[in-house]
């Protein structure tokens, strides 16, 4: 079974979300700042993973929260507030990439003939790695070279431990598509390790 949590948000959590939203809508001092502070981490990571540019990340994250502020009256409390906000963040980042004509996901083979494996493995030399820590650092660099969607999905699933369903509600992708992207990305990363299996056998 999946190791990731797939339980829906509890009634308490939804109740707390609704209470916070009601405070913001009633204009309670500091309520919106509290909302931003609570959810800025996830929003920031979604956008950062998508656009991979510090200045753009800050600007787009601010834009996402301003949209949240404008549309907060539309929040019905059917899902967790963090998913709702992450959905806005994903939408803002996706539109940014579309405007800049940056492909969201990659095809298995690039148009220039360079496969994703080769591109992601660029500079990936595990024989140079003396420890697991260094191997992990190389893997992190390889993940950073994945297409925006793949690295965002890996972040949401493994770092934020969101369930496939929650990721689906954020990205609008079908469960199978998300699993497919995760599967391919992990297989790719695992292949990078396998090519240097000798090192681990030592």
Partner 1 sequence: MNRLLDFRLDEARWQSQEHAVTDAPRDHGDAVLGSALRTLPSSRPPVDFAADVARTAACAGLAAGFTHPGERLLMKALGIAMAAGLGGCTLVYGEAWNVAIALAFGEGALHWGLLGGACLAISCLPWRRLLAFAGRAPAMQRDWRDGP
Which residues are near partner 1 by CB under 8 A?
Answer: 1-4, 30, 32-34, 36-37, 40-41, 44-45, 48-49, 54, 57-58, 61-62, 65-67, 69-71, 74-75, 84, 87-88, 91, 94-95, 105-108, 132, 135-136, 139-140, 143, 154-155, 158-159, 172, 176-177, 179-181, 183-184, 186-187, 189-190, 193-194, 197, 200-201
Sequence-distant (6+) residues with CB within 8 A of 180 are none
Residue 16 or 196: the one with the smaller Cβ distance to partner 1 is 196
CB of 195 to partner 1, least distance (A): 10
CB of 15 to partner 1, least distance (A): 19
CB of 151 to partner 1, least distance (A): 8
Residue 10 or 180: the one with the smaller Cβ distance to partner 1 is 180
CB of 58 to partner 1, least distance (A): 7
Secondary structure, 3-state, the chain: CCCCCCCCCCHHHHHHHHHHHHHHHCCCCCHHHHHHHHHHHHHHHHHHHHHCCHHHHHHHHHHHHHHHHHHHHHCCCCCCHHHHHHHHHHHHHHHHHHHCCCCCCCCCECCCCCEHHHHHCCCCCHHHCCCHHHHHHHHHHHHHCCCHHHHHHHHHHHHCCCCHHHHHHHHCCCHHHHHHHHHHHHHHHHHHHHCCHHHHHC
Residue 118 or 141: the one with the smaller Cβ distance to partner 1 is 141
CB of 12 to partner 1, least distance (A): 21
Residue 102 or 200: the one with the smaller Cβ distance to partner 1 is 200
CA distance 7 to 37: 24
Residue 6 or 10: the one with the smaller Cβ distance to partner 1 is 6
Residue 10 or 70: the one with the smaller Cβ distance to partner 1 is 70
CA distance 193 to 199: 9
């Amino acid at each position: 079974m999946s190791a990731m949590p797939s339980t829906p948000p509890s009634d308490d959590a939804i109740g707390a979300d609704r209470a916070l939203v009601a405070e913001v809508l009633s204009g309670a001092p500091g309520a919106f700042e509290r909302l931003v502070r609570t959810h800025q981490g996830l929003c920031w990571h979604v956008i950062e993973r998508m656009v991979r540019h510090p200045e753009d990340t800050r600007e787009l994250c601010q834009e996402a929260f301003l949209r949240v502020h404008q549309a907060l009256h539309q929040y019905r409390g059917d899902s967790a507030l963090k998913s709702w906000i992450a959905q806005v963040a994903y939408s803002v980042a996706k539109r940014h990439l579309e405007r800049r004509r940056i492909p969201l996901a990659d095809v298995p083979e690039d148009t220039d003939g360079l496969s994703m494996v080769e591109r992601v493995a660029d500079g990936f030399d595990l024989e140079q790695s003396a420890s697991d820590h260094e191997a992990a650092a190389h893997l992190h660099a390889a993940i950073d070279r994945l297409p925006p969607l793949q690295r965002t999905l890996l972040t949401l699933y493994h770092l934020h431990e969101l369930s496939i369903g929650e990721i689906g509600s954020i990205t609008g992708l079908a469960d199978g598509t998300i699993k497919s992207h995760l599967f391919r990305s992990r297989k790719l990363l695992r292949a990078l390790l396998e090519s240097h299996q000798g090192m681990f056998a030592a």
